[in-house]
Structure 1
Amino acid sequence: MVLLAMVYCLQRRSARKKYPMEEENESLLFDLPTLKAATNKFSEDNKLGKGGFGEVYKGILPNGQEIAVKMLSKNSTQGAEEFTNEVKILAKLQHRNLVRLFGYCLDGNEKILVYEYVPNKNPEKQRTLDWSRRYKIIGGIARGILYLHEDSRLRIIHRDLKASNILLDEDMNPKISDFGMARIFSSEQTQENTFKIAGTYGYMPPEYAMQGHFSLKSDVYSFGILLLEILSGKKNSSFCTSDPSENLLSHAWKHWKGGTSLELLDPTIRDSYSRIEVNKCIHIALLCVQENPAQRPTMDSIILMLNSNSVTLSSPQRPAFFLRSGTEQNVLELELDQSKGKSILLSVNEASITEVYPR
């Protein structure tokens, strides 16, 4: 009897080591037939879009709850680690400015995440975003990032903050989504290095793209680019002017130095905006994209700047324009370490490019 009990305990321990995610998150588990029924068998009519790791569908559960179902691509092993990573992270995060994870499904080769459904990811709704709504969205994104960096149970660097990963609910509250590339830090850790670099063109800071160095200030840099996009109504990935060498960042810096910052503002809201708030946001954005990470503000100081008109902002230096715009390639490859043949892949559209590697 004692021997049988010992064998049983060893088997249980082995199972826990092999499938830790399933045991830890058993209450989040969905079965595949339920998700097929909710999405009408993952029909094209229910498809919301396609991201770096697979396709996303809208679904309705039997209780009437609307969901977004993210199905990892079965044709590639890429993304399996990101899937596990996202489940573990999102299951422990709760904030009004983060997309809520309802559960997941593992069935054979199927790996699926189930989120709350966030309705307003439609670019055509931009015309409804007046300045007050945009300022509210900016503040919400900042609070969501601060929660990840300082206020959650974990210290998390998102590493893939971009416009397509910011969703809006029915009240136009922003929600940060897609944690497949996120990294968890210890409470005292603030930076790390990697030889495997992946991300989206134009949102990565130079120290990460060129040296593999990422930190809390990496997300701050991405937030600065997002801020410029919200202000201008233009996508960084498709920005173009009469000067083919100019990108959104260099365009913003040119207007800042020339004293014409308000020319950066989206023409659709130039009749109704707060001059003080717009100039402050442009100033904050340029501080966020400084070449030296130490010169970038922290997220708590950014929120203080946004909420107060009495805080004195330092003068930004010229940002590093380390990538040119206007390329016809879908993927750019830059040498990270020529002696070792290391390289990085950057997406020039809004799809994340990732390389799976052991932690």
Structure 2
Amino acid sequence: MDIYGSEKAELEALERAVVDATADPMPLTFSLLKHITEDFSKKNLIGEGGFASVYLGTLPNGSRVAVKKLSQHHTIDEKGFHHEVDITIKVAHKNIVRLIGYCSHTHEERVLYNGQYIWAEVRQRLICLEYFPNGTLDGYITYKFHEGLDWNHRYQILKGICEALSHLHDELHIIHRDIKPGNILLDDDFVPKLYDFGLSMLSNEDEENLYSGDGVGTFGYLAPEAFNGHFSFKSDIYSLGVMISELLIGGRSYQDVEKVLEDLRERLVKDEAFPLLEENFQQVRTCLEIGNNCIELDVDKRPTAFEIIQLLDKMEYTNYSVSSGHAPPLWQSGDVKLDYSDMDTIEQEPEPESTSDFPTNDQELADLNTNGETSTEEHDKPDLLSGLPTSEDLAKLKFLEKITDGFSLENLVGDDGMFGDFRKAFVYKGTISGRTMIAVKRLIGVGTKATKFEREAKNLMSLDHKNIVKLLGYCHDESREHKLVQFKGTPPQDRGKEPEQLLCYEYMHNGSLHEYLAGKGYQEPDWPMRYELIKGTCEGLHYLHEGLGDCRIVHLNLTPSNVLLDKNYVPHITGFDISRLIGQNRTNSVLFELKGQIRYLPRDFLNPMGTDTDLAPVDIYSLGLMILEIATRQEIDEQETFIKSVRDNWREEAQIASLYTSLEPDKLCQVKLCIDIGLDCVKSKPENRPTAGAIIHRLDKGSRPEPVPDSIPLVHTNLTHADDCTQGKQKRTGLGKLFGRK
């Protein structure tokens, strides 16, 4: 490493600071950090996120540091950088990563902008931290107890995290706001070190709760109240509770402690790893109870970090081993016959069970005529298999490779990103005889057993409705040991040993509803088109919920991106295949790992303790948000704010008329009806939301208004329901504020 003069002196000072735990954080030059990371080379990249990248820095004496480089923006948030440095300096503790240095560097560069070169100010903001070769905790969370961390390591890691939180909460009054395994580093002895204080908040001693206005953090670990921007020390405790479940059993489970212990014992016996925990039964039980208390909905019932430490200390000095006689028979070893089917999580999914139709309280629904909506004999729908390959061809992997050009990046038209960084499906365009005919969905990491995959695929193929994307065929191939998958802007990824599982659908030429509403179509949809989009989507969901008898399908990820448009812009629902293939229960738990878009999921689903067995109201909530988006021509940013804005600004027909200036009164009444329906769908209590059938009934009734006699003038109203548009007193109000798109 060729460094001279002042940089050499700076380097020597850095080497001393690395080994001196009492050294104050020092300012560092950008050129030095470039040298020790080899100009931030890819081979030194050890971590990457949405806001920063972390590189390994090596010093001449062999010492190593971690260099966190904030994402480069011309308008980088200086307050955020200053905040993270100040907080990290303040939180010195044996279970918190130590800040060694920081760098604030600005220079000018000549860059190409709009076809011309201009001088731009480039800002580099970096933080130098301790380096830990064992990486982050999430790399050690495994379902197998004979792999990775033993019980003593897991227990000590849990205790160390609690001690870090107690230091933050009780001594410094700091709320971390992003407690998760990815923010826990492990040193050579697996001592946990909490880091990343970019989202942390400082509270006053007498201020227990803070409101930030945003639900920042990592979905799956975020406390329910935090989705509305309310944070407290107990919000961190909730995140800790989720981590405890992962740390102890290798995944998340929200069952009662006894059920988890029983499942865990059976799994350990099956894996021949039972002796690893047999002597620590009571410790496991106590830690699981602590975890369950941490995720209580009632914030006041969650323990403090200090109270958890007291429980752990008390447990350490008590002998609860099997030999002492304190362990109940549940924990005694023995032969257990297990059938784990295709599940790889604690929560076992039963075989498909009968589910009655979602009940309605409206007697008028008895007369609801759905002929032509759920019938498999839709004469106005073209024969989807006309001119397409046979199902036998679609079952051949070589044929699907051929029509997608080897699953090339050029033929990639979409992906299912509902699981954050770990995508579950990639969709490719399949071209046959020079014409685009089908969409091939290639499942990644789903790992459904062949028998279940074939059973569910056949069930999905039997679905036949004008507002559901038609499944034409499927392929299960075990001839390969691995497969490479490439996504836009990333190198190919080796997904390991697993069978190829693919689903072939009819091709939707006009993309998704999301793209269409965002103006990516040929023209912005007028109200009649918007109404047809709403009604078609409702009819598709009604078919899934109520048109299949005992085999109802709950989508669990209904968004505008999962509604596709055919050549005539008729909406078709897609994306529900994942929940069928991995199971409703497992979909519920997997969605808690979501790192991306969550804006269409209701709080009762986001909160695991409040999720009921019937999840149809989850889809209704998502549908309601979509209806409000379509009707008000707005796009959701934050759920609660969006719903409140609709209630405040779009409940009066005069306000609606300001948005649709050329609509006739009966059509304005139709817009109001849709807004009223949407607001009913997003009610906080699931039991108060309408069924899909009830929505269709209201839409049908609203699309055929009673004729108005010439002698009775049409009067605008502010009634909650718009079924009777000609009754009520006229009310004039000022225009509501316009927001979003035109």
TM-score, structure 2 length as denominator? 0.37
Identity of aligned residues (%): 35
Specify every segment of 5 or more residues in structure 1 that has no aligned partner in the other structure, as ranges.
1-25, 235-247, 312-320, 342-359
Q: Contact 1:262–1:279 at 8 Å: present in 2 too?
A: no
Query: What SS does the corresponding residue of 2:161 show, helix, strand or coil?
Result: helix
**What is the alpha-carbon distance in structure 2 between the residues aligned to residue 201 and residue 135 of structure 1?**
25
Q: Could you tell me which of 282, 302, 308 is aligned with 1:296?
A: 302
Q: Contact 1:103–1:114 at 8 Å: present in 2 too?
A: yes
Q: Could you tell me which of 262, 271, 274 is aligned with 2:275?
A: 271
Q: Per the alignment, do residues 260 and 43 of structure 1 end up closer, same or farther by CA in structure 2, a change over 3 Å counting?
A: closer
Residue number in structure 2 paired with 1:60: 58
**What is the alpha-carbon distance in structure 2 between the residues aligned to residue 193 and residue 219 of structure 1?**
14
**What is the alpha-carbon distance in structure 1 between the residues aligned to residue 56 and residue 274 of structure 2?**
35
Query: What SS does the corresponding residue of 2:127 show, helix, strand or coil?
Result: strand
User: Is residue 219 of structure 1 aligned with residue 223 of structure 2?
Assistant: no
Query: What is the identity, as a one-letter code, of the residue corresponding to 1:336?
Result: E
**What is the alpha-carbon distance in structure 2 between the residues aligned to residue 329 and residue 90 of structure 1?**
25
Structure showing greater radius of gyration is: 2
**What is the alpha-carbon distance in structure 2 between the residues aligned to residue 134 and residue 285 of structure 1?**
14
Query: What SS does the corresponding residue of 1:225 show, helix, strand or coil?
Result: helix
Residue number in structure 1 paired with 2:180: 162
Query: What is the identity, as a one-letter code, of the residue corresponding to 1:223?
Result: L
> Offset of 1:212 from its aligned partner?
1.8
> Offset of 1:331 from its aligned partner?
1.8
**What is the alpha-carbon distance in structure 1 between the residues aligned to residue 60 and residue 93 of structure 2?**
26
Query: What is the identity, as a one-letter code, of the residue corresponding to 2:67?
Result: V
Q: Per the alignment, do residues 270 and 188 of structure 1 end up closer, same or farther by CA in structure 2, a change over 3 Å counting?
A: farther
Specify every segment of 5 or more residues in structure 2 that has no aligned partner in the other structure, as ranges.
1-23, 107-122, 319-584, 601-638, 647-742
Q: Could you tell me which of 210, 219, 244 is aligned with 1:201?
A: 219
Query: What is the identity, as a one-letter code, of the residue corresponding to 2:261?
Result: S
Larger RCO (CA under 8 A, 6+ residues apart): 1
> Offset of 1:184 from its aligned partner?
0.8
**What is the alpha-carbon distance in structure 1 between the residues aligned to residue 288 and residue 141 of structure 2?**
23
Q: Per the alignment, do residues 170 and 45 of structure 1 end up closer, same or farther by CA in structure 2, a change over 3 Å counting?
A: same
Query: What SS does the corresponding residue of 1:199 show, helix, strand or coil?
Result: coil
Structure 1 range deviating more: 116-125 or 137-146: 116-125
Residue number in structure 2 paired with 1:92: 90
Deviations 1:74-108 (CA, angstroms, capped at 9, x unpaired): 14746643322110101122111001100111111
Residue correspondence of structure 1 range 1-359 to structure 2 within 5 A: 28-75=26-73, 77=75, 80-108=78-106, 109-121=123-135, 123=139, 127-151=147-171, 154-209=172-227, 211-234=228-251, 248=252, 251-253=253-255, 255-256=256-257, 259-264=259-264, 267=268, 270-273=274-277, 274-309=280-315, 324-327=588-591, 330-333=596-599, 335-337=639-641, 338-340=643-645
Query: What SS does the corresponding residue of 1:336 show, helix, strand or coil?
Result: helix
> Offset of 1:160 from its aligned partner?
0.2
Q: Contact 2:25–2:102 at 8 Å: present in 1 too?
A: no
Residue number in structure 2 paired with 1:22: none
Q: Contact 2:25–2:99 at 8 Å: present in 1 too?
A: no
Query: What is the identity, as a one-letter code, of the residue corresponding to 2:284?
Result: V
Q: Contact 1:231–1:264 at 8 Å: present in 2 too?
A: no
CA RMSD for the aligned pairs? Answer: 2.7
Q: Contact 1:262–1:278 at 8 Å: present in 2 too?
A: no
**What is the alpha-carbon distance in structure 1 between the residues aligned to residue 162 and residue 300 of structure 2?**
19
**What is the alpha-carbon distance in structure 2 between the residues aligned to residue 36 and residue 134 of structure 1?**
37
**What is the alpha-carbon distance in structure 2 between the residues aligned to residue 202 and residue 128 of structure 1?**
23
Deviations 1:91-144 (CA, angstroms, capped at 9, x unpaired): 122111001100111111100010000111262686231001110100000001
| Matched positions, count | 287
> Offset of 1:330 from its aligned partner?
3.1
Deviations 1:228-266 (CA, angstroms, capped at 9, x unpaired): 1101123xxxxxxxxxxxxx3xx332x53x544242478
Q: Contact 1:72–1:79 at 8 Å: present in 2 too?
A: no
> Offset of 1:336 from its aligned partner?
2.3
Q: Contact 2:100–2:128 at 8 Å: present in 1 too?
A: yes
Query: What SS does the corresponding residue of 1:333 show, helix, strand or coil?
Result: coil
Query: What SS does the corresponding residue of 2:97 show, helix, strand or coil?
Result: coil
**What is the alpha-carbon distance in structure 2 between the residues aligned to residue 332 and residue 120 of structure 1?**
32
**What is the alpha-carbon distance in structure 1 between the residues aligned to residue 141 and residue 293 of structure 2?**
29
